[in-house]
Amino acid sequence: MSSKIYVGNLPYSINDDNLRENFAAYGDVASAKVMMDRDSGRSKGFGFVEMGSSEQAEAAIQGLNGMSVGGRSIIVNISKPKEASSGGYGGGGGGYRNERSSY
């Protein structure tokens, strides 16, 4: 099991230090990062925490998943690696296959 945790539904007021403090009760926090919007500088409402071991990560998940933080029920689970984009259209992802209209 991984020691990297995804934390979702975070209040927009939470920062890296607050996130670290919430997880410190469950073990060593190697890193805690709230993801921020590049343009506005505002929290995206989710982040990642890396614990010292997979056992500590599991304890944090059991203890914090569903907890109320800043009035929001947070989602805490093992971070899954970002999968390569699939869909058969090459890179990029969704949208229209042929973006030019035929006027």
Predicted pLDDT at 78:
94
- Residue 94 CB neighbours (<10 A): 8
pLDDT tens-place string over residues 6-41: 999 999 999 999 999 999 999 999 999 999 999 999
Please give the CATH topology (third level) of the domain spanning 4-78: Alpha-Beta Plaits (3.30.70)
pLDDT tens-place string over residues 35-82: 999 999 999 999 999 999 999 999 999 999 999 998 999 999 999 887
- Tell me the pTM: 0.77
What does DSSP say about strands 4-8 and 43-51: parallel, antiparallel, or unpaired?
antiparallel
Q: Residues, the chain, total? A: 103
pLDDT value at 97 more than 60: no
The tokens describing 102, both together, are 């035929």
Domain extents for the chain?
Answer: 4-78
